[in-house]
Amino acid sequence: MVKVSIVIVNYRVKHFLEQSLRSVRAALKAFPMEAEVFVVDNHSQDDSLDYLTPRFPEVRFIANTENVGFARANNQAIELATGQYILLLNPDTVIAESTLFEVCQFMDAHPDAGGAGVKMIDGNGRFLPESKRGFPTPWVSFCKIFGLAALFPHSRLFGRYHLKYLSPDQCHSIDILSGAFMFMRRETLDKSGLLDESFFMYGEDIDLSYRLVLAGYANYYLPTPIIHYKGESTQKGSLRYVRIFYEAMLIFFKKHYPHYSKGYALAIKCSIFFRASLAAAYRVITAPFSRQPKPEQKEPGEWYIISNNPDDIATLMPGKKRYTALPSADGIPVSNKKSGKRYVVFDTGLLSFREIIETIQRLCADGTKFLIYNPESRVIVSPKEIYTQP
C-alpha cells in the first residue's frame, strides 16, 4: 500500500522544484516507504518539463494547457493519488531526510489528527509565522486588519492570527495548515472534500483546514524544520498578489460567516480593501528602490564554500575569486560583522539536507546568507538568485 502521495504544483520555478524533488528523493531513500510523487505543471510555458522529466523518472508529471490555479491543479493529482496520506508541498521547499518519516510517525500515533504542518524557515533561516495560524474569525480578522495583532503579537486575545504565544519549537494543536506543507489523511479528505477551486491561489489552505476541523479532526503543528523560499513561486511583491490574496479573504468570509449582518460584513470588506490599497500603494512606491544588485556586486563580504570541489562551485558565480573552502559546516567561524556580510554555499554532494537545514538555523541570527549547490545539475539556489552554467 502506498504510504504517502506527494503533490507539487509548478509554475515557472524549475530550479527550486528540482531542489525540492531532490530533497524528497533523499528522504525516501534515507527512510524507505511506499510513496508516489506527482508534479502538476500549470502551463509554465518554459522548459520546466523538458528539464525535469529525464532527471526524475520516478515522478508522474501532469502538464496543464492553461494555468488552472493552485487548488484545481492539486485536486487533479489528489484524485489520482492512492496514498494513505496526502502531502501538498510547495515547489520552493526543501525537506530534511527525516521529515516524511517523522510526520508519518506522528500521524500514525495520533488518529485524531486530520492534518499536520511543520516548522518552516525561509532561505536565510528566519522562522515563518504562517507555519502556525488561527482561523480568521471576524474577531481575529479585525485584530489583523486594524493592527492589534501587530501591536500585541504574543497576546492570546489579540494575537491569534499567527499564534505567536505558542513556541515554534514545540508541538501544538493549531487551526490552519500552510499550503506549502499540508500533510493530511486520505480518509479525512474523503469526509471534508478536496480544495475549493473558487480560490485561485491563496486562501484554499485556510478553507480546507477549516473543513478538516468541521469533519471532526484536529490540525497539528510539528517543530520539524523545512526550508520554504517564501514568495519565489508566487511573486508576492506584485499588485496581482495583493488583489488575489485579499479577494481570497473575502471568499472565505462570505463562505463561512454568512450569518453576520450585512453592515458588519461591509465594514470588514472596506477594511480589507483599505489594507489592499495600502499594500498596493506601498509596493508601487518602493518598487524602484527594491531592485538590489547581486550580493557580490553590492558587497563582496566573506564567502565560504562547504564542498570537496569548491573551484567547480566558484566558477558558477560571476566575479567570485576569493572564498574560503571548508570540509564541513562545523568549520564556519563566528561572524565578524565588521567585515561585512557572509555568504555560505552548501554542496549537497557533501552535506545532507538535514545538515544544511540545521546549519542554516544555527547561523541565521548573525545575518549570514545561504546558497545550496546541486553537483548533478551544477545549479546554485539562493532566496533571491539562481546561478547556472553560462
Domain with CATH 3.90.550.10 in the chain: 4-132+168-228
Q: Quick check: 113 and 107 in contact, CB under 8 A?
A: yes
- pLDDT score recorded for residue 304: 94
Q: 95: which 3 cell numbers?
A: 525537506
Q: Which residues pair with 231 in a beta bridge?
A: none
Over residues 71-99, the pLDDT tens digits come to 999 999 999 999 999 999 999 999 999 99
Over residues 147-203, the pLDDT tens digits come to 788 889 889 888 888 899 999 999 999 999 999 999 999 999 999 999 998 876 678
Q: 50: which 3 cell numbers?
A: 523538458
- For 112-131, give one letter per residue: b (16+ CB within 10 A) or e: ebbbbbbbbbbbbbebbebb
Alpha carbons 129 and 155: distance in angstroms, whole number: 15
pTM over 0.85: yes
Q: Cell 487548488: give the residue.
A: 71
CATH of 4-132+168-228, one of 3.30.930.10, 3.40.50.300, 3.20.20.70, 3.90.550.10: 3.90.550.10
Q: What is the mean pLDDT of each run of 10 residues along the chain (390 residues)?
A: 97 96 98 98 95 98 95 96 98 98 98 97 95 87 78 88 93 96 96 88 88 95 95 50 65 73 62 69 71 50 92 84 89 70 94 97 88 96 89
- pLDDT score recorded for residue 298: 46
